[in-house]
Copies of this chain bind each other. A is one copy, B any other.
């Protein structure tokens, strides 16, 4: 089959990779209908994370082609959406809703790069969710978004306790930040402040529910959020970037007793303990337990109540993956969908 390999920073190619096989009786093999490039794929692309001949991709939707003998909840021919983290969905941690910390958790990126024609998904019952039927083609981008960016943005908004009567500030205007805005609106937030300085992303932020835009960053951004919230700060803040500046901006923007949800995969961030201490805030973050939200998110997409697929602003055949990475790296695209 064809699959994407990153040979070194900046060097992404499609090449012939071995077809995945059932290894464990709980595995499924899926044929991908769509996959995409994640903001976190840019870390190795930019040389911030090590990379060496690595199969890429962890977001996926597709049709089940083969299942191991113990797989019960998905069958050959089903259209499925899966989380970017493998989970058994039965252990104590999964039952508490933290499937990304499952005792069997593995990153899909490590088990089977999904920027490919096929993928092996371990613990298929605990990782995949079948859609109610074969989806209309126009729903596929939205279903694909549920696999990571929507699920992650949704988790961030839930972690930040976005809800009725709340002012929510979102740090980061990438795909995850935009999905957190969508989530905050669905969760009933009263006011949603997008922190963004790019006109196209501001427009998308408003489409998804942002009521206010703040262009300032760092301390100036914090001051602006305070100004908009009677000096108190936002009830709920989402951090969806992962840099030192964005993380400190998010802490500073949260009111005392407020909630910070952080999902930006961070690098070299060092949180000064004393600043976090005196902030007096709740925090929750990390790799999102997407599996917890998948049934609900799939249904909302199926019922056309939400349109997360709009976050994909460039679509390419898998063969042209290198163009996709370049477009995201240069911020010409928010998120790139790939057709295998």
Contact = CB atoms under 8 A, between A and B. Distances in A.
Interface of A: 92-93, 96-98, 100-101, 103, 230-232, 242, 244, 247, 255-257, 262, 265-274, 276-287, 289
A122 to B, nearest CB: 18
Nearest to A100: B280
A98 B256 contact: yes
A104 to B, nearest CB: 12
Contact of A97 (B98, B101, B257, B266): B257
Given A270-B272, A280-B101, A284-B281, A93 B255 contact: yes
Given A269-B272, A281-B286, 18 more contacts: A92-B232, A93-B232, A93-B257, A97-B257, A98-B256, A98-B257, A101-B257, A103-B232, A244-B273, A266-B277, A267-B274, A268-B273, A269-B273, A270-B270, A270-B273, A276-B286, A277-B287, A278-B286
B282 A100 contact: no
A265 B277 CA distance: 7
Which 7 pairs, one residue from A and one from B, show the smallest C-beta to C-beta distance? A101-B256, A269-B273, A98-B257, A280-B286, A266-B273, A271-B271, A270-B270
A291 to B, nearest CB: 13
A14 to B, nearest CB: 30
28 contacts: A93-B256, A93-B257, A98-B256, A98-B257, A100-B280, A101-B256, A242-B273, A244-B273, A247-B273, A257-B289, A265-B277, A266-B273, A266-B277, A267-B273, A267-B274, A268-B273, A268-B274, A269-B272, A269-B274, A270-B270, A270-B271, A276-B285, A277-B286, A280-B286, A280-B287, A282-B282, A282-B283, A283-B284
Nearest to A264: B277
A265 B273 CA distance: 9
Nearest to A282: B284
Nearest to A101: B256
Contacts of A268: 273-274
Contacts of A255: 93, 101
A257 B267 CA distance: 22
A197 B207 CA distance: 57
A274 to B, nearest CB: 6
A93 B279 CA distance: 13
Nearest to A267: B274
A96 B93 CA distance: 30
A231 B92 CA distance: 11
Contacts of A93: 232, 255-257
